[in-house]
Amino acid sequence: MKYESQKVALPYFYGALALFGVQLLVGLLAGIVYVLPNVLSELLPFNILRMIHTNALIVWLLMGFFGAAYYLIPEEAERELHCPKLAYIQFGLFMFAALAAVVGYVFRIHEGREFLEQPTWIKVAIVVVALMFLYNISMTVLKGRRTVITNILVMGLWGIALFFLFSFYNPTNLALDKMYWWYVVHLWVEGVWELVMASILAFLMIKMTGVDREIVEKWLYAIVGLALFSGLLGTGHHYYWIGTPGYWQWIGSLFSTLEVAPFFFMVVFAVKMVLKGGRDHPNKAALLWSVGCAVTAFFGAGVWGFLHTLSWVNYYTHGTQVTAAHGHLAFFGAYVMINLAIFSYAMPHLRGVAPYHQTLNKASFWLMTGGMSVMTFALTFAGVVQVHLQRVMGMDYMTVQAEIAPFYWVRLAAGAAVFIGAVLYLYALLGPVPASRRTTGIGAAVQPAE
């Protein structure tokens, strides 16, 4: 860590991890309700559980992105953050809004569109938080060294704020509502979030592999270019069956097939940089999360996305457990893992120590990634059976759900493994640092010049 103001990343990382815990706990509860449906059915019905599960996920990922930006932008821009105090105030407001939303949900205070359930005042608070953040990082970047990483990262973060504005538009015409709803949801996760992800990954590659910046930046442009060229019109795969024109079936099928490309090249990029770099970076756990992120995102977002993206396949799979399988692995691979990677990389620097608890951190990687993979397979099989029984044979929904119940037990067990993995991760990151790692000045030593 070179700049004092990078420390503002710390509360963001802690806040993100706390909400990660909430997300997993509530996810586990929802998994229990799937197999034991009478649990909590009056106190906290499934719709509330799911609302908390998805919202906590989105908010903690954003909080992690904010923290990551605050950590890496001073280092990239080669100057202190424009206003560290503002960053702390921003964190307070964001955390307050997030907790207020969760508490409100428990008491049935929410709006009714999926993922955008935040009451209007919280949405306004999110916009204020985003503006505080964008002002702070943009000023830092403008006054400092400009790199491709900061350009792409800042562009992605501005995009996040810009597209969120569509959450305020809720037309009474359901088809229009759905069409613009995807301007937030799809253009976030299959658009601008990929810019954030790729730029964080590029930063980690420069720091940990020692590959020349020029090469990494060329790759970064190519990857984010592919992401937007495919992802923008790839939104069409959500416009097949919601009252929108039939031509989306062609556009959506073609461009969302191409959405696999940026994820494929992220794997090639990460693996190539690690092999080429030859730097023996001591933080092996962070490296594992980084490469693992590219690989799992390729499977979760790329392969599992492609599985059901062609319109003539999607006609049968749309809105089944196949969708749930893809959603889980894609979010985990692309966005959870990039956050856990940058946390693993940055925490030793922020705490001023050499990388610590590496074995435990790596164990948590395998437990979480393994758990998510099993969960994805369970839901995929459940989905395939569901598609056949319900969409081909025309059997009643609830009858089909009873048939696929065993898969939900497997999913619950896999979820428990992920939860245990997360507990290990938390200890590996936040637990006491062993005395041997507490050498002073090591912060500079593990971070050689580029």
Partner 1 sequence: MTERFTKAAARNIFYGGSLFFFAAFVSLTAASHIYVVNTGTDSKGLTDSVARGKHVWEKNSCINCHTLLGEGAYFAPELGNVWIRYGGDKDAEGARAALAGWMAAQPSGIEGRRQMPQFNLTEQEVNDLAAFLEWTSRINTQNWPPKISG
242 binds partner 1 (CB under 8 A): yes
User: Which residues, 395 to 424, sit near partner 1 by CB under 8 A?
Assistant: 395-398, 400-401
251 binds partner 1 (CB under 8 A): yes
Q: Tell me the C-alpha distance between 194 and 238, whole Å.
A: 18
> 3-state class of 432 per DSSP?
coil
Who's near 122: CB < 8 A, 6+ residues apart? Answer: 97, 100, 101, 104
248 binds partner 1 (CB under 8 A): yes
Q: Tell me the C-alpha distance between 262 and 265, whole Å.
A: 5
Residue 319's CB is within 10 A of a number of other CB atoms, namely 10
Q: Which of 123, 146, 140, 129 is nearest to 65 (CA)?
A: 129
249 binds partner 1 (CB under 8 A): yes
6 binds partner 1 (CB under 8 A): no
Residue ranges of the alpha helices (H) in 36-119? 46-77, 84-106
Closest separation between CB of residue 376 and partner 1, Å?
A: 14
In the list 72, 149, 189, 224, the residue contacting partner 1 (rule: CB under 8 A) is: 224
DSSP letter string, 380-425 = HHHHHHHIIIIIIS---HHHHHHHTHHHHHHHHHHHHHHHHHHHHH
51 binds partner 1 (CB under 8 A): yes
Closest separation between CB of residue 385 and partner 1, Å?
A: 13
436 binds partner 1 (CB under 8 A): no
State which residue, 31 or 371, has the beta carbon closest to partner 1: 31
Who's near 304: CB < 8 A, 6+ residues apart? Answer: 325, 326, 329, 330, 376, 380
8 A C-beta contact, residue 329 and residue 304: yes
Closest separation between CB of residue 440 and partner 1, Å?
A: 39
Rounded (5°) CA angle 289-97-350: 40
Report residue 36: phi and psi, to 5°. Answer: -125, 80
In the list 7, 82, 110, 349, the residue contacting partner 1 (rule: CB under 8 A) is: 110
Contact segment (CB under 8 A) with partner 1 among 19-27, 91-99, 137-145, 222-230 equals 222-230
Closest separation between CB of residue 375 and partner 1, Å?
A: 14
State which residue, 4 or 114, has the beta carbon closest to partner 1: 114
Residues in the interface with partner 1 (CB under 8 A) total 74
User: Which residues, 135 to 154, sit near partner 1 by CB under 8 A?
Assistant: 148
Contact segment (CB under 8 A) with partner 1 among 204-212, 240-248, 339-347, 368-376 equals 240-248
State which residue, 67 or 327, has the beta carbon closest to partner 1: 327
State which residue, 138 or 323, has the beta carbon closest to partner 1: 323
261 binds partner 1 (CB under 8 A): no
DSSP assigned state of 1? -
In the list 103, 131, 142, 174, the residue contacting partner 1 (rule: CB under 8 A) is: 174
The angle, 0 to 180 degrees and rounded to 10, between the axes of the packed helices 213-234 and 260-277 is: 170
264 binds partner 1 (CB under 8 A): no
State which residue, 2 or 250, has the beta carbon closest to partner 1: 250
The angle, 0 to 180 degrees and rounded to 10, between the axes of the packed helices 193-209 and 148-164 is: 160
4 binds partner 1 (CB under 8 A): no
In the list 123, 237, 308, 318, the residue contacting partner 1 (rule: CB under 8 A) is: 318
107 binds partner 1 (CB under 8 A): no
State which residue, 173 or 440, has the beta carbon closest to partner 1: 173
State which residue, 18 or 233, has the beta carbon closest to partner 1: 233
8 A C-beta contact, residue 146 and residue 199: no
Closest separation between CB of residue 320 and partner 1, Å?
A: 6
User: Which residues, 325 to 384, sit near partner 1 by CB under 8 A?
Assistant: none
The angle, 0 to 180 degrees and rounded to 10, between the axes of the packed helices 358-386 and 337-351 is: 170
